[in-house]
Every structure is written in structure tokens, then in C-alpha cells.
Structure 1
């Protein structure tokens, strides 16, 4: 995880990881059959680490909106802590096609669905909420972490204003990072849509 946080998943090889750890690459094969199994283990570990965030569990949440808000902010904290890892969470194969990133473990799917059912959602509404919720988180957070850690990001100053006049003119607006406000507004819009299917 530290290697990917520092260098990105694209630079991860068994040989480079072994060198970082001070062992031969072959020593890693005692624990993982190959890079794919290692990457799956890394993704599972990051998702499992959500359990250690006391702010996201349904117990103690004052209703379904509070639970989904706390969970969304927990997933966002995870993505911003590991921005180079989050694309792996989005793209590694899930346990089943209906288990969606970023809540990509069957255990988190069970937690999500059972929590909403306990809050009064019927089964179809809980499943629909899961699809909408994960789509929002995945799309927003992938965009938010895009380019994180890049040493040489593309910059509007390098563009030809004759060829791209609107982009160059709006470069300050494009560079503006609304951060928390944008995430909160998108989450609030999603929760308002889910409220049409919510109990009561």
C-alpha cells in the first residue's frame, strides 16, 4: 500500500516491491501467486480498513440520511488518503458483477443493504439506493483523485489560445477546486432523490 501511495500502481512489479522490502522478488511468491492476487489483497485491505473508521457505521446514526452521509464521507476520506490506490478499487474485478465499487466487498454490501432495510427501506428500494449511491461515489471520487501525485499535469498555460480560446479563457474557473462543497452538494442531491423511495 505504501509503495502504491508513493509510486502508483503502474510502477508496481514483484521485483520492485521485493527491492523496496529488501528481499528477492521470489520471496513474495510464498504469499501471493502473482501480481493480480497481490493487487486484489491490497484492494481488500483498503476496503476492510473502512471498518476502523468509527464515523461510518450504521449503529448510532440518526436515520438513513445520516448513515449514508457518514459512509460517503468515510469512503471519500479513504480515497483522498490513497488517491493512487482508488483507481484500483474502481477497476479490480469484484467478487460478483452485482458487487459494485467502491463498496466492493460482499460484507460492505451486506452492511449497506441490511442497514437500509433496518431503516425501513423495502428490498427493491435498498438495492436501487445501492446502485445510485455507488455510482455517485465512484464517479465523483475518481474525478477528485484524478491526477493526484502527477509530477507534470497538463496546464492551460501550455495551450494555444488561438486553437482553444474558451478553455484558455476559463482556465481559472477550470482550476478552481470546490472540494468539500461540491461533494456535499452532489451527495445532498443524491439523498434527496433517494428520499422519494425512502420509508415515510
Structure 2
């Protein structure tokens, strides 16, 4: 006779939001962090960034300092500077690490092999899963200075921008229409998800922005992102007013449909 099974239940909660960690079986951080108090053993950049993500998830972004992260890892703060030059570079690494979770998500495709709509649907849900798994970290994705400061709207992860543009261009979009799609898609997605995590009590503020943004990103090597560099002239255009008006018109059109079709009765509503 065996004893009770004490292993954690990793089966998805069928009643939970399908993009939440509970709906995914409890999975959240995919980056192994060195256990608290483990000292220098096994310490490397990946583990430092993983520990920073865990710390922010638990304590909030504003609580993160090099000293506190060092204590969390069981080392002096100075030991961390071997892997990250300072807090600002640490935050940049956190963003890149969290975005890298997209590329480890089996439900997110790296190419639009089943059509661009399928690609964008999967990508949107993958980003939302990141936001729900790391709500305290997620605002950094949209608020950290972009590695290419001329990208509009700004997005820290050029890997995301590059793969997005390549997928749409490969699907038949012109370069101009791919950039327009990037603008509309990222504005909708990040705006919606920032509001969603703010409803969980997460502070969305610029207080963690480094001073001198251009200097903070001057050392970024853009040679890994040829599509982004090639489309700089398009990505740097400020079309905010026109895009706002177009999005507003689309919303009003959708509300016209809602008005025309009427309200769908809620469960238990027995009114005629």
C-alpha cells in the first residue's frame, strides 16, 4: 500500500482563465533561478535574471535593488555585477528573459505557417499568458526604453518586433502594411494588458525609467535585427493621431453592431 500522493497537482483548472497560470496547470517562470541562500554555487547571468523575475513577482518592481537581489541569492550585491553591470541592465535583461518565454511556449508559433491570423492569435495569447504569470514584471515590456529608440510604438524587445515584421512580410504584407499592422496590434495588445494588470493592483508608472534614454540604449547592437533597421524610416513615423482616430472609428463601428443586434440576455435574465 502506498502513501498519499504529495506531488503538486499540475493539471489545468478547467474553471480558470485559460491564459492564467492556473489555467495552464500552474506553470509560470520557465527560467531556473538559483534557490535563495544558495550562494555563489551555480550562479550565472541566466540564474540572476531568473531570480530577479521571481523577486519582482513576489515583492514588486520597486522593491528590487541589487543588494536585496544579492540577499535573495545568498551573495553580496557586488557578486552580481559580474553578470549585470547595474540595476538598469538588470531590468533590460529581465524584459528580454520574460519575452523569451514566448519562444518556449508550444502554443506560440515562430512563423505564420498556418496563416497570419493564426500567428497573431497565438502570439496575443502568449503575451497575455506572460502578463498574467508576471503581472509585476509585465509593465517593463512596454515602458523600458526601446533598444532602437525610433521604433513607434516603443517596445523593448527587438526580437519580438523583428519576428513580427518578418512573419507578416512572409505572409504577403508589404513593408509599409507590416509596420502599420505592428503599430495597431502592439498598441491594442499592450494597452489592453497594461490595463488588465493594473486592475490587479500593479503600478503602471514611469518612475523606473532611467535618465538619459538615448545613452541607455546607445550600446545596443542592431545588426541582429536587419528588418527593423531596414524599416527605420517607416517605424520612426509618428502616426499616433491618425491611428487613434482609425481605432476610434473601428470601435464606434463595433458599437453600432452591438446596438443593432441588441444586448444578449445574461444568464438568469427572464425579462421578455
Same fold (TM over 0.5): yes
Aligned with 2:116 (options 32, 48, 64): 64
Contact 1:84 1:148 in 2 (8 A): no
Equivalent in 73, 78, 82 of residue 21 of structure 1: 73
- SS for the counterpart of 2:82 is coil
Q: Secondary structure at the match of 1:85?
A: coil
Query: Could you say which structure has the higher helix fraction?
Result: 1
Equivalent of 2:183 in 131, 138, 145: 131
Change (3 A) 1:116 1:77: same
Structure 1 residues 60, 124: CA separation in 2 closer, same or farther (over 3 Å shift)? closer
1:100/1:134 contact within 8 Å kept: no
Contact 2:146–2:154, Cα closer than 8 Å, also in 1: no
Larger radius of gyration, structure 1 or 2? 2
The separation in 1 between residues aligned to 2:79 and 2:108, in whole angstroms, is 37
Equivalents in 2 of 1:101, 1:51: separation in Å?
22
Measure, in 2, the Cα distance between the counterparts of 1:13 and 1:125.
Answer: 42
Structure 2 stretches of 5 or more lacking a match? 1-52, 203-246, 255-272
Aligned position for 1:45: 97
Q: Within 1, Cα distance between the matches of 2:193 and 2:143?
A: 13
What does residue range 177-188 of structure 1 map to in structure 2 within 5 Å?
none
* CA pair 149-7 structure 1, distance change in 2 beyond 3 A: farther
Contact persistence 1:102–1:138 (CA under 8 A):
no
The question of whether the paired residues in 2 share the 8 Å contact of 1:87 and 1:142 is answered with yes
Alignment match of 1:116 (pick from 160, 168, 178) = 168
Q: Deviations over 1:55-76 (max 9, x none)?
A: 2214464211111111101100
Which residue in the other structure is 2:209 paired with? none
What secondary structure does 2:200 align onto?
Answer: coil
- Secondary structure in 2 aligned to 1:29? helix
The offset of 1:135, in angstroms, is 0.4
Aligned match of 1:175 = none
Q: 2:193 aligns with which of 111, 117, 141?
A: 141
Rate the CA distance shift 1:141–1:65 in 2: closer, same or farther, 3 A.
same
Q: 1:138 to 1:32 in 2, by over 3 A?
A: same
TM-score, normalised relative to structure 1:
0.70
| Native 8 Å contact 1:102 1:134 kept in 2 | no
Aligned residue-pair number: 155
* 1:118-145 superposed Cα distances (whole Å, 9 cap, x missing partner): 1111111100000111100111000000
Per-residue Cα deviation, 1:70-113 (whole angstroms, up to 9, x for no partner): 11011000111100001111111111124467863222222111
Q: How does the TM-score come out when normalised to structure 2?
A: 0.52
